[in-house]
Structure 1
Amino acid sequence: MPDATPPDSKLEQCFALQRQAFAANPMPTAAQRSQWLKSLGELLNEHRQALIEAISHDFSHRSADETLLAELLPSLLGIRDARKKLKRWMKPSRRHVGLVFQPASARVEYQPLGVVGVIVPWNYPLFLAIGPLIGALAAGNRVMLKLSEATPTTGELLKRLFAQVFPEDLVAVVLGEADVGIAFSRLPFDHLLFTGATSIGRHVMRAAAENLTPVTLELGGKSPAIVSHDVPLKDAAERIAFGKTLNAGQTCIAPDYVLVPQDRADDFVEAYKQAVQGFYPTLADNPDYTAIINQRQLARLNHYLSDATGKGATVITLYEQGQAQRMPFSVLLDVNDDMLVMQDEIFGPLLPVVPYNHIDEAFAYINQRPRPLALYYFGYNKAEQKQVLERTHSGGVCLNDTLLHAAQDDLPFGGIGPSGMGHYHGREGFLTFSHAKSVLIKQRFNAARLVYPPYGKFLQRLVYKLFLR
């Protein structure tokens, strides 16, 4: 008989259970946290094949190597890095006390927040669950994970696997449709991390505001790539192709469009075509080629194509036809801002090429648009690299590569403005899920009493004379 308990009630019960468990152990030791992370790593290693198969099933086909490279590998490396550095992260930070406030000492202690909520998207259902989970557990919190309804097989598997090693009052996996996600975001978490579309992020932030819940939003947007006037096109095209073709472009930091010098545009398209076809000589039945997640997303991408062609774009399709949900890669030329493909995050295997004449035009084009989650520049001129870093804003930057900044354990990951707020990964993840508590310590002798009322005494006037300059 199906469970008739309303989703709100079940979520509230789970939340109350975790809140009670946190109250009973508000400062887990480094050994406890390290064991949690160790158990998580062992679980992923032991069930890696089942995870690969579950994700592939949800996508109708996902390359096993892409799941290994983009989900399992960074998850396991992140766990290893956190366990190695955990004691250092937890160590209180000594701070300076000014002369006028002596004798005293000061430090910052890093205290767990409590119960953390994580809303996981469908495009990387494992890594985008494990990444925040690492930071939250390292910081000593309890965690509730809401998995995407678009990846039900992966969600069911993770729910079953996590239950084998974590009690529900430590890590709980929540499944369900959009109504469950809405109820989830309304819980009074001590921190809520959401990864997904900007439009949904606004709703999540609005719901969290009712409880004054602090949020981290990882949203995405249109991440540009700039090809310089003198970079070898083979270098740039190959690296852009890798960033765009991984997971069939269904990556929040995939290159969304490419700015190319006007006189190099045709050669770039040819170099990009050769790079993509070198990765995937054939499309049909190619085990390396990942499908679009579902028919809804496939229809959205095809609508982008028809909208673009109807408004004057030239579409160069790199394969004769697709196969089921395996959509062929395409390059779009002659694009303009009236086209949906230039308004919305693409999240698929379509690559618009935008020509420019001078690098200043490329900077202006980017800066006139919402700040992206990632920005990529291809060129070996260090002066121009410096200009890219100083004259543009984005969540992260890769110079002469794509995607790989997000896999660095010691770099924070996050957006800016419409592409998100806050960050996690590595130490920044630990800090995001911790409260940095200021602590001032004084002992028996109290020099501060020298400035207590009544005012106007000699020592008070001396303090003003010495320090109010």
Structure 2
Amino acid sequence: MDSTNLNHEQTEEVEFFKEIFREQKISFEKDKYPSLKSRKENLNTLKKMIIDNQDSIIDAINQDFKNRARQETITFEILPSVLTINYTLKHLKKWMAPQKRHVHLLFQPGSASIYYQPLGVVGVIVPWNYPLFLAMGPLIQAIAAGNKVMIKMSEFTPHFSLLLKSLIAQYFDKDQISVILGDAMIASEFTQLPFDHLLYTGSTNVGKKVMAAAANNLTPVTLELGGKSPAIVCAHSNIKDAAEKIAYGKQVNAGQTCVAPDYVFIHKDKVTEFVTHYINTIQAFYSNTVDNSDYTAIINQVQNNRLRHYIEDAKSKGATVTSILPEGAKIYIEPTLIQNVDDSMLIMQNEIFGPILPIIAFDDLDEVIEYINNRPRPLALYLFSNNANEQNKVIHETHSGGMCINETVLHVGVDSLPFGGIGGSGMGHYHGYEGFITFSKIKSVYKKSFINLMKFLYPPYSQNTFFYQILKKLFIK
């Protein structure tokens, strides 16, 4: 991007975060391996910041969404952030400890170890849909690994972004953690900084641009992108249970979740039963979409218009559309089922990111697997089946970033599981130990004693024929 296209305010913001980047680099050079104690202090400070300000966090996110269910912010933003910190605090000492590795007889006497070093300055680009959790997740693992962190927040959550910037500045020095605000042009400039690692969460198309910008500095990237995550409901599963769990996974945050079930395969003999239970579940969840504090709004009118366009496009191409609740205000999209879909419809070509669920009837599980495998690999896959053979078949014959069996979305909150996509849904992992590894340099260290048996293999080789014969006889076989 050409920096000359920036206006005066944007130019000042870019110069501001470039200076912060320099300060964080200098700070890191002064303390390249923070102690366990200092890392735990940072994590506990972050935890205190979240807990002490949770009401302000909930209110700010609610303002950005025009209506975000308070309980959803607690359950999917505040709770997992605190649990992740607690899990990290419990295991950090073990993660930081050098690991001994095997040394072959040929390299004896000696020892081999793995050391985990901080990378330096880490950049994190946060989307709008879960602005706290998707900022805290990588931040927690990055500071646990001993890094400095710069966080670029989304311009679509202005109230929360400003609040987080203020809170971070209150609890941390800017050469440790800093929050950057601004629009897409600022984000583009942000990606061009020579970070030691860059983590981006968002759309696949923007992820390609982030990776291209990072390549100019050979900055390693972690991309968490999303895509179309399928659910599969097999004939012998508990259909009522499947409908309830898929409805919950779909409706949380009004479907504005990267791992929400995007579309669902249902055995042809169970479609009617599933639809009945799904509608009953939604009606039990909500009485309406107007002035209902439990029903989260679509983030803005642009996203609302996109979703309504998908519905109208499906209708125009022969789909059966069922709106489960009365249509709400302009910022709401009512829970919607779409049947008789085909690949010509926009709703089957793009990640939905809303409370709309296409249904595809199937007869043979092999056909479902083939369908999924012929498309970009999803971030999540959900299988509802009580049959071990079906479970193993889907586990081994499909690729996805993560998978739940008889559940949706909750795998993201399991602290010990890495989170990350594959192919079009992303690359790399964070959360838990894998997050610590992502933000660490794994350094191999081989330590040799003063006894040097390798000297018998040094040149001139003509004088060492006997030892090479032993080497060949003992080890090359």
Q: With structure 2 as the length reference, what TM-score do the two structures score?
A: 0.97
Q: Distance in 1 between matches of 2:95 and 2:144?
A: 9
CA contact (8 A) 2:95 2:433 kept: yes
Given residue 472 of structure 2, which amino acid in structure 1 is its aligned partner? Y
Which residue of 50, 55, 58 corresponds with 1:49? Answer: 55
**Among 228, 241, 257, the residue aligned to 1:235:** 241
Q: 2:136 & 2:289 partners in 1: Cα distance?
A: 31
What residue is the counterpart of 1:433 in the other structure?
439
Q: Tell me how far 1:4 sits from its aligned partner.
A: 7.4
Cα offsets for 1:75-123 (capped at 9, x unmatched) = 0000000011100000001001110111100000000000000000000
- TM-superposed deviation, 1:5: 4.7
Alignment of 1:199 with 2:205, yes or no, is yes
**For residues 317 and 338 of structure 1, what CA distance do their matches in structure 2 show?**
21
Distance 1:212 1:239 in 2: 42
Which of 456, 463, 468 is the matching residue for 2:471? 463
- Which one of 106, 131, 140 corresponds to residue 134 of structure 1? 140
Please give the alpha-carbon distance, in whole angstroms, between the structure 1 residues aligned to 2:460 and 2:474. Answer: 20
**Structure 1 segment 61-460 matched on structure 2, within 5 A:** 61-456=67-462, 457=464, 458-460=466-468
Which amino acid is the alignment partner of residue 222 of structure 1?
A: K
Shift of 1:135: 0.5
Residue-by-residue CA offset, 1:395-453 (whole Å, 9 max, x unaligned): 00000000000000000000011000000000000000000100000132222211111
**Secondary structure at the counterpart of residue 259 of structure 1:** strand
Q: CA deviation at 1:269?
A: 1.1
* Preserved contact between residue 7 and residue 183 of structure 1 (Cα < 8 Å): no
Superimposed CA distance per residue, residues 298-351 of structure 1 (whole angstroms, 9 cap, x where no aligned partner): 010011011111111110000121123121010001111011100000000110
Aligned to 1:377, what secondary structure does the other structure show? strand
Structure 1 stretches lacking a partner, 5+ long: none
CA distance in 2, matches of 1:29, 1:165: 19
Q: For residues 246 and 11 of structure 2, what CA distance do their matches in structure 1 show?
A: 48
User: 2:122–2:147: 8 Å Cα contact kept in structure 1?
Assistant: yes
Secondary structure at 1:316 match in 2: strand
Letter in 2 for 1:21: S
Report the Cα distance in structure 1 between the residues aligned to 2:32 and 2:443, rounded to whole angstroms.
Answer: 14
Provide the aligned length of Structure 1 versus Structure 2: 468
Q: Partners of 2:190 and 2:9 in 1: how far apart?
A: 18
Amino acid at match of 2:36: A
Amino acid at match of 2:59: E
CA separation in 2, counterparts of 1:447 and 1:73? 57
The farther-off stretch of 458-467 and 245-254 is 458-467
Q: Which residue of 1 aligns with 2:4?
A: none
TM-score, structure 1 as length reference: 0.98
Letter in 1 for 2:16: K
Q: CA RMSD in A?
A: 1.0
- In the TM superposition, residue 281 of structure 1 has moved relative to its aligned partner by 2.4
Q: CA deviation at 1:61?
A: 0.7
> Contact 1:121 / 1:148 at 8 angstroms: preserved in 2?
yes
CA deviation after TM superposition for structure 1 residue 391, in Å: 1.0
User: What CA deviation, in whole Å up to 9, does each residue of 1:117-172 have, x standing for no partner?
Assistant: 00000000000000000100000000000000100111000000011111000001
Looking at structure 1, the residues matched to 249 and 329 of structure 2 have their Cα atoms a distance apart, in angstroms, of 22
State the percentage of identical aligned residues: 52
Distance 1:371 1:4, change over 3 A: closer
CA distance in 1, matches of 2:289, 2:210: 38
d(CA) in 2 for partners of 1:48 and 1:36? Answer: 18
- What is the alpha-carbon distance in structure 1 between the residues aligned to residue 240 and residue 286 of structure 2? 17
| C-alpha distance in structure 1 between counterparts of 2:386 and 2:328, whole Å | 36
Q: How far apart, in 1, do the equivalents of 2:293 and 2:286 lie? A: 10
Structure 2: stretches of 5+ with no match in the other structure: 1-7
**1:122 aligned partner, one-letter code:** W
What is the alpha-carbon distance in structure 1 between the residues aligned to residue 305 and residue 254 of structure 2?
15
**SS at 1:6 equivalent:** helix
- How far does the alpha carbon of each residue in 1:53-91 deviate from its partner, in whole angstroms, 9 at most, with x for none? 000000011000000000000000000000111000000
Moved more, 454-463 or 174-183: 454-463
- Structure 1: distance between partners of 2:238 and 2:87: 35
Equivalent position amino acid for 2:360 in 1: V
Inter-CA distance 216–231: structure 2 relative to 1 (3 Å threshold): same
CA distance in 2, matches of 1:362, 1:175: 43
